[in-house]
Amino acid sequence: MEVISEKDEMRGIVERAKAGGLTVGLVPTMGYFHEGHLELMRRARAECDLVVVTLFVNPTQFAPGEDLEAYPRDFERDRGLAEGVGVDYVFAPEADEMYPAGSSTRVEVEGLSGVMCGRARPTHFSGVATVVCKLFNIIPAQKAYFGQKDAQQVAVVRRMAADLDFPVSIVPVPTVREPDGLAMSSRNVYMEPDEREQAVALSESLAAARELVESGERDAGAVAAAMRDVFARYPAVELEYISICDNIFLRPLDELEGQVLVAVAARVGRARLIDNMLLDVK
Ligand code: AMP
């Protein structure tokens, strides 16, 4: 495995591989790897000839006062884990390689970026769309792997790739969880032990929603109310939103029908956590 820090070198490697008939898989990350990241890499390894993982804590997706400086980092450990699952290249640029002085272009995916997490983080998804757009240009892979844990990110990236005509297929990968159900996240380390115990509220609320829908409930208000009942049992968890919406446009639903995204966000101590599930409602 090789670590590359310059855009031109990275693009050259990918272009030569594609000219030689290879399929390239891209896995964008901010590092501090856990099993969720490794699952994306394994999936790319299984489906592509050449696997490129990017490791970049992207400043444009953090607002002032968010956790850019505190974001956990451990490059040597990440390098070993990526190598262990058979990654070919890690692209780990410095911030000024990605955003040289004078950079001023932002990619804005309207509509999808302002709802759900976009309410608390109004500039976040334009930062994500901008960096992913740049990564698609630097690493013109045929397939790009994203975790379903960040469902809104998947929706934004799919829209951006379609709208800007990137010939890449976006592959969503199911959420990897801790044994008690908590979705794995680099930010889980921000929680104190008692907070960590209560963080199961998110996945438990989703399980309660699933159970209700499976028993025949189709009213979104009733499902959300059952989810709020779960949160009420966990005082350390401050619910930010529950969204019951379609999975493409993220428009809220009154009645559950078809592919339904049920998503939650909550604050637990220093951590802001998100989780979701997709339901196929007949
Ligand atoms: P991050 O480094 O947190 O930006 O995440 C990099 C990629 O890994 C994103 O596509 C995330 O959606 C994905 N990811 C993060 N956590 C998980 C998880 N628990 N299961 C599956 N994918 C995940």
Please tell me the predicted confidence (pLDDT) of residue 63: 97
| pLDDT band at 277; cut points 50, 70, 90 | very high
147 lines ligand 1 (CB under 6 A): yes
Ligand 1 pocket: which of 149, 176, 187, 275 to mutate (most atoms <8 Å of CB)?
149
Cα separation, 22 vs 25, in Å, equals 10
Q: Is 173 in the pocket of ligand 1 (CB under 6 A)?
A: yes
Ligand 1 close to Cβ of residue 78 (< 6 A) = no
Could you read off the pLDDT of 148-180 as tens digits, one per residue? Answer: 999 999 999 999 999 999 999 999 999 999 999
For atom 11 of ligand 1, which residue has the closest CA? Answer: 147
Fold of 186-281: Pantoate--beta-alanine Ligase; Chain: A,domain 2 (3.30.1300)
Per the annotation, the verdict on 124 as an active-site residue is no
> Can you say whether residue 203 is alpha, beta or left, with left for phi > 0 and alpha for psi between -120 and 50 degrees?
alpha
Superfamily of segment(s) 2-173: HUPs (3.40.50.620)
DSSP 123-169: THHHHHHHHHHHHHHHS--SEEEEEGGGHHHHHHHHHHHHHTT---E
For residue 256, the model assigns a pLDDT of 98
From CA 207, how far away is CA 93, in angstroms rounded? 39
- Residues forming CATH 3.30.1300.10 domain(s) in the chain: 186-281
Summarised one tens digit per residue, pLDDT across range 201-229 is 999 999 999 999 999 999 999 999 999 99
pLDDT on residue 195: 98
- pLDDT tens, 225-241? 999 999 999 999 999 99
pLDDT, position 115: 98
Q: Could you give the CA distance from residue 70 to residue 186 in angstroms, rounded to a whole number? A: 11
Mean pLDDT score of the chain, rounded to an integer? 98
From-to residues of CATH 3.40.50.620 in the chain: 2-173
Q: Please indicate whether residue 172, judged by its CB atom, sits closer than 6 Å to ligand 1.
A: no
pTM, rounded to two decimals: 0.98
Mutate to test the pocket of ligand 1, among 32, 117, 150 (most ligand atoms within 8 A of CB): 150
